[in-house]
Structure 1
Amino acid sequence: MQTLDLRLDDVNIFEYIHVPNVICKMEQLRHLYLPEECNPKTKLKLGTLRNLQTLVNFNTKNCYVKDFMNMTNLRELEIRWPFNIEGFNTEELDKNPPIIQSEYLHSLSIINNIINDERRIDPKHLAHLLLSCKNISKFSLDVEIRRLPEYHYLSSNLAYIKLRSLIELNNLEEWKVGEGAMPSLQRLEIQSCIQLKKLPDGLRFIATLQEVKIGSMRKTFKDKVEEEEEDFCKVRHGLSIIFQDCEWYRSHCHFFYSAAALHAYHVKLCRWCREDDKDQSVYGHTDENEEQVLLRSMYRTVRLMEAYGLSGLAHSSYSDTSSTPGLYVLFWELKMKGSNDLPKLDAKVMEQCCCIVEESFDFTYKSLRKGGAISALELRVVKHGSFDELMDFYISKGASISQYKLPCCLKTEEAIKILNSGMVGKFFSPKTIS
């Protein structure tokens, strides 16, 4: 076997995915795709995979950094969520051993866009990782850190850079690219970095630059890059400058106060809403599978619920636009582990679940919540059997029993009324979001 893909599209969000430590025996493996989230007890030793070329969804919670030492044929690496180097010397950085030994690594993607401080990547760890990647030509960074690594950590072979959703970089406006840095850069994509005030002056020295793509940025940033404006001279030597959704970003805070706009954001979280949303091209742009955004966000509450003896059975959601501003509502059916008894609901635990879910949503949701354009997320817990009643309702309307799938997004008043009738408690996330 040369390819092993363990990613799951349709997974019960209230169950961990456990991967046994047997992959190390597959020494001929070339391409390994791990699940996005694994059981905390999963510990994989991958140091024997000397022929590995592709590794996706690596993290230091379930894997070991030291195993990179033996992966001398690695070409593509994607790190998702925790990445912490044990025993890292923060005082004398040059005393830390290199991480990546492969001279063939050309593509590096780092995804760590969560607010939880315990899982946020340390900028020094990130910088040391980049220092080990001497030959990468494609670099994608989707993280929440306080500052970017200095440019001299980046490979001189870089041909493509994508910076996405760096919403907490308070000093990103001072990002500098010196003369001689990134001499091979061909494509630069900057998306959703709402703190960035201008392009680095050093881009004017990169003669190889062919394309600059600006997406979901403030209009003030976009205006500076347009022809004859102050930042245009930095990238005018490129063959193309592409703008995406920058006009939308300018006014989206106003739009989201309306009922239609909150429903439009719901499109980003649930693909089934697309059928009834005629304005999806305006509001519903997203790079991810919308259903998976919601699944992944709720999946991260599992550890917390298990600690209190809770088990989840089913979930659904809808956007409540009956008031201004509107809010996002989740329905959960919970029970005690090992029985169908109604659990005792601790308000603090439920509110913490709300926070975890909101932390997993994208920069747009977070910025609008912080600005008051969307109200606090609401979690409604329903009694055991409520979702069975919902299924009976849909079957009575003509749905097939054999093909029935619980809707992630509720679109009818009747369905919402059924779940509301079984509600045993409701909880809200804190009124402010960091």
Structure 2
Amino acid sequence: MPKLRHILFERGFLAYPFPIQVSGKDSVVLENLQTLSGVINFRCTKEIFEIMPNLKKLGVSYDYDRRTKWSSYEFDNFIYLHQLETLKCLFTVTDYTTAPPSDIALALAFPPSLKKLTLTGGNIPWEKMTVVGSLPNLEVLKLKERAFEGSLWEPKEGEFTKLKFLFIELNSLEHWKVDREHFPQLQHLCLSYCFSLEVIPSEIGEIGTLETFELYECLDSAVKSAMLIQEEQQSLGNYGLRVRVLSENEYSNSYMKSTSVRKVHENP
């Protein structure tokens, strides 16, 4: 099927090693393939990605058990997808008797072409965020269900230069050290189920491009500090920033289609 453009599974497995030849013919190259999604435990070898060199959208998920090492999936080979613009990665733990390994961050590498990135699960330390922040064309970043974990996140200068949309959900973040230089083009920020973050850094209000700041199921103290940020900006003549505390219905309509968070009573 040389003209095939899109392959979408609900939960699909691709055999490994992937057949690179068919009936003794030359190597198969799916030059027209643009989308591959719903693939489970996809082995990201360089040889496989050379078969689909023009892939623009990739959606993969990985199940961890005690026999698995994240590094065995070779995530660092994402860099060989030179046309990739959208990537979704879901990491889940199927064996709760053993803690998941901490080598996801060591194995991750992304191509500079990436514009949209969604990471779910993984418990990656915040200090490893540089691998994401350094992406030169990243515009949308969604961090779901403890994608990154730890009490402190301090972005570095020169990161997230084109980021416009940031969604952070369900983590143990307590201190977020940020200034307007870290997110120079951010327009939309949403924090969801951030139960450990007591205060929103006031520097968030100094991001001149920020238009919408939404919160859902966050601490009352965090909501109060966000409202104070809005009031302070308005006192300075900045009426472009809108802080919203979302209702359940508003959150469902805006985010539940794109988020995998479980209800609070199911995931305390």
Q: Return the TM-score normalized by structure 2.
A: 0.70
Give the 5 Å matches for 1:218-257.
Answer: 218-226=219-227, 230-233=228-231, 236=234, 237=238, 238-245=240-247
Aligned-residue offset at 1:71:
0.8
With over 3 angstroms needed to count, the CA separation of the structure-2 counterparts of 1:213 and 1:120, relative to structure 1, is closer
| AA at the equivalent of 1:109 | T
Which secondary structure does the structure 2 equivalent of 1:34 belong to? strand
Corresponding residue for residue 182 of structure 1: 183
Gaps of 5+ in 1: 9-16, 89-95, 113-118, 249-280, 294-359, 368-434
| AA at the equivalent of 1:50 | P
Q: Return the TM-score normalized by structure 1.
A: 0.45
Corresponding residue for residue 76 of structure 1: 86
1:53-111 per-position Cα deviation (integer Å, ceiling 9, x unaligned): 111125547732232221111101112116965894xxxxxxx9x92233x21111110
Aligned-residue offset at 1:232:
2.8
Between the aligned partners of 2:242 and 2:125, the Cα distance in structure 1 is 34
Corresponding residue for residue 131 of structure 2: 129
Corresponding residue for residue 5 of structure 1: 8
Matched, 1:365 2:263: no
With over 3 angstroms needed to count, the CA separation of the structure-2 counterparts of 1:285 and 1:182, relative to structure 1, is closer
Corresponding residue for residue 110 of structure 1: 119
Structure with greater helix percent = 1
- Percent of aligned pairs with the same amino acid: 14
1:383-417 per-position Cα deviation (integer Å, ceiling 9, x unaligned): xxxxxxxxxxxxxxxxxxxxxxxxxxxxxxxxxxx
| AA at the equivalent of 1:65 | F
With over 3 angstroms needed to count, the CA separation of the structure-2 counterparts of 1:23 and 1:123, relative to structure 1, is farther
Aligned-residue offset at 1:27:
2.9
Which secondary structure does the structure 2 equivalent of 1:109 belong to? strand
Corresponding residue for residue 158 of structure 1: 163
Gaps of 5+ in 2: 21-27, 63-69, 93-100
Between the aligned partners of 1:136 and 1:87, the Cα distance in structure 2 is 18
Q: Is the Cα contact below 8 Å between 1:79 and 1:109 reproduced in 2?
A: yes
Aligned-residue offset at 1:197:
1.3
Count of paired positions: 228
Corresponding residue for residue 198 of structure 1: 199
Tell which deviates more after alignment, 145-154 or 181-190.
Answer: 145-154
Give the 5 Å matches for 1:6-405.
Answer: 6-8=9-11, 18-21=13-16, 22=18, 25-28=28-31, 29-35=33-39, 37-38=40-41, 43-45=43-45, 46-48=48-50, 49-59=52-62, 60=70, 63-81=73-91, 88=106, 99-102=109-112, 104-112=113-121, 120-124=123-127, 126-144=128-146, 145-147=149-151, 149-152=153-156, 154-166=159-171, 168-169=172-173, 172=174, 174-226=175-227, 230-233=228-231, 236=234, 237=238, 238-245=240-247, 288=256, 361-367=262-268
Which secondary structure does the structure 1 equivalent of 2:198 belong to? coil
Between the aligned partners of 1:176 and 1:243, the Cα distance in structure 2 is 22
Structure with the bigger RCO (C-alpha within 8 Å, sep 6+) is 2
Between the aligned partners of 1:43 and 1:55, the Cα distance in structure 2 is 13
Which secondary structure does the structure 2 equivalent of 1:57 belong to? strand
Q: Is the Cα contact below 8 Å between 1:140 and 1:163 reproduced in 2?
A: yes
Which secondary structure does the structure 2 equivalent of 1:47 belong to? helix
Structure with greater strand percent = 2
1:202-252 per-position Cα deviation (integer Å, ceiling 9, x unaligned): 2132111111111122333323333xxx3334654334222113xx8xxxx
With over 3 angstroms needed to count, the CA separation of the structure-2 counterparts of 1:86 and 1:57, relative to structure 1, is closer
Aligned-residue offset at 1:185:
0.6
Between the aligned partners of 1:140 and 1:219, the Cα distance in structure 2 is 23
Aligned-residue offset at 1:193:
0.6
Higher-Rg member (1/2): 1
